């Protein structure tokens, strides 16, 4: 069988190597399994201590997706097989996934993510952790966890809080999809390059003839050149255009007021209509814990954020709401989840509080 993750070492003109990681599960849009995460963790750790490796390039197989997220169906089965937990597979998955993302954020060598096609959920965690994050004209980014009663994790509690105005809160509560121009505006992406230029970019990377100390300058020069060439071919975004409206909708400290503002929104803009529908039909429980999680992590360092995320992910996976969301969206596909609470005001602070209590004596990410 072909490995779900492929690794190559390509020779650079200066005698060093570029490590290439290809997420190789095209049929599942390169969704991450625990096996894939473990393979990547081990290889990245090896390359990090290999002086011959100058940089790492991460891509997805096929033309549709960089990575569509985690293998949610496997998490679903872990949740329903061990109701109330511990949900061994799911909890191990989250721990290893967050370790992978944290390693990428702190990698000692340049990491390059070619984010063509779908970049969602766990895929965005990998993408956001890289030092050079390239989106293309076909990039579609989202954190749609509100639709399955999860929350924007994989560092989302960190990078969503860094976005301009209330863009991060808007994206978390609505699950709205954004493109390359949007992701560049909110600094999830730092270069937008046409996908047709990919092979040329790789050829230029392999033609580098400079000492390791100068590689970042050379990479910046290569990506900036192709970014400037591609600007006219990248579709316009929505976030910057609607920034004032997003701020007006999401600036409130009361999540119920935010939901009410969305309910009053009258627009012909289809992107805004989908965002309005996202918060209207998402799990009221999830909306409450997403709002609280973002506030809790607003000023925290990345390590602390991942420690909070693993705690919340664990309490959620042991609860029935997540399984119901996945059932309705991905298993039975009836698009009709039977949420435990029908209205936001039914979800009181007393109901939300237990989700933010540590589910074990010691946080598994204490040693990050």
pLDDT at 10 over 80: yes
Given pLDDT bands bounded at 50, 70 and 90, which one contains residue 340? very high
Q: Calculate the alpha carbon distances from 143 to 139, 221, 258, 312 in Å.
A: 14, 31, 19, 16
pLDDT at 80 over 90: yes
pLDDT at 1 over 80: no
Mean pLDDT, residues 289-315: 98
Given pLDDT bands bounded at 50, 70 and 90, which one contains residue 237? very high
Q: What is the mean pLDDT of the chain?
A: 97
Other C-beta atoms closer than 10 Å to the C-beta of 195 total 18
Among candidate residues 19, 69, 70, 237, the one labeled active-site is: 70
pLDDT at residue 213, rounded to an integer: 85
Q: Domains plus CATH for the chain?
A: 5-356 (3.90.226.10)
Residue 236 burial by Cβ neighbours in a 10 Å radius (0-12, 13-18, 19+): exposed
pLDDT at residue 211, rounded to an integer: 87
Mean pLDDT, residues 266-277: 98
Contact (Cβ atoms closer than 8 angstroms) between residue 149 and residue 316: yes
* Residue 70 bears catalytic tag: yes
Given pLDDT bands bounded at 50, 70 and 90, which one contains residue 130? very high
* Distance of alpha carbon 239 from alpha carbon 72, whole angstroms: 28
pLDDT in tens, 274-289: 999 999 999 999 999 9
DSSP secondary structure of 129-160: HSSEEEE-TT-EEE--GGGGT----TTHHHHG
Alpha helices in 49-166 (DSSP H): 72-81, 88-105, 122-129, 156-159
* Residue 237 bears catalytic tag: no
pLDDT in tens, 37-79: 999 999 999 999 999 999 999 999 999 999 999 999 999 999 9
Among candidate residues 97, 145, 321, 324, the one labeled active-site is: 145
Pairing, β 140-142 against β 132-135: unpaired
* Residue 122 bears catalytic tag: yes
Among candidate residues 117, 122, 155, 325, the one labeled active-site is: 122
Mean pLDDT, residues 306-329: 97
Among candidate residues 71, 101, 153, 324, the one labeled active-site is: 153
Mean pLDDT, residues 141-156: 97
Mean pLDDT, residues 116-126: 98
Instruction: Give kind and range of the element (H or E) at residue 289.
Output: helix 284-296
pLDDT in tens, 168-214: 999 999 999 999 999 999 999 999 999 999 999 999 999 999 888 89
Mean pLDDT, residues 340-357: 97
Given pLDDT bands bounded at 50, 70 and 90, which one contains residue 87? very high
pLDDT at residue 212, rounded to an integer: 82
């Amino acid at each position: 069988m072909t490995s779900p993750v492929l690794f190559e070492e390509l020779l650079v003109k200066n005698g060093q190597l570029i490590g290439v990681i290809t997420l190789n599960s095209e049929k599942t849009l390169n969704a991450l399994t625990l096996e894939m995460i473990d393979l990547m963790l081990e290889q990245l750790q090896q390359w990090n201590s290999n002086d011959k490796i100058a940089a790492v390039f991460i891509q997805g197989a096929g033309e549709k997706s960089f990575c569509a997220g985690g293998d949610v169906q496997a998490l679903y089965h872990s949740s329903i097989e061990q109701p109330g937990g511990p949900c061994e597979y799911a909890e191990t998955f989250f721990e290893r996934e967050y370790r992978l993302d944290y390693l990428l954020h702190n990698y000692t060598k340049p990491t390059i993510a070619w984010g063509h096609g779908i970049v969602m959920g766990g895929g965005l965690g990998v993408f956001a952790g890289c030092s050079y994050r390239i989106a293309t004209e076909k990039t579609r980014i989202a954190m749609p966890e509100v639709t399955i009663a999860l929350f924007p994790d994989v560092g989302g509690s960190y990078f969503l809080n860094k976005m301009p105005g209330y863009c991060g809160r808007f994206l978390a509560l609505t699950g709205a999809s954004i493109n390359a121009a949007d992701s560049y505006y909110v600094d999830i992406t730092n270069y937008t390059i046409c996908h047709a230029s990919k092979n040329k970019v790789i050829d230029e990377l392999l033609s580098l003839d400079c000492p390791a100390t100068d590689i970042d300058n050379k990479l910046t020069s290569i990506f900036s050149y192709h970014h400037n060439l591609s600007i006219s071919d990248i579709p316009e975004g929505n976030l910057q255009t609607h920034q004032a409206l997003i701020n007006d909708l999401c600036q409130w400290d009361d999540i119920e007021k935010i939901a009410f503002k969305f309910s009053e929104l009258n627009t012909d803009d289809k992107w805004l209509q989908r965002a309005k529908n996202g918060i209207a039909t998402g799990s009221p429980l999830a909306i409450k814990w997403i709002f609280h999680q973002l506030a809790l992590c607003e000023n925290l360092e990345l390590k602390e954020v991942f420690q909070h995320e693993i705690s919340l992910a664990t309490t959620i996976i042991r609860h029935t709401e997540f399984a119901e969301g996945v059932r309705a969206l991905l298993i039975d596909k009836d698009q009709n989840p039977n949420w435990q609470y029908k209205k936001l005001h039914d979800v009181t602070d007393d109901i939300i509080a237990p989700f933010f209590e540590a589910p074990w004596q010691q946080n598994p990410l204490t040693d990050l």
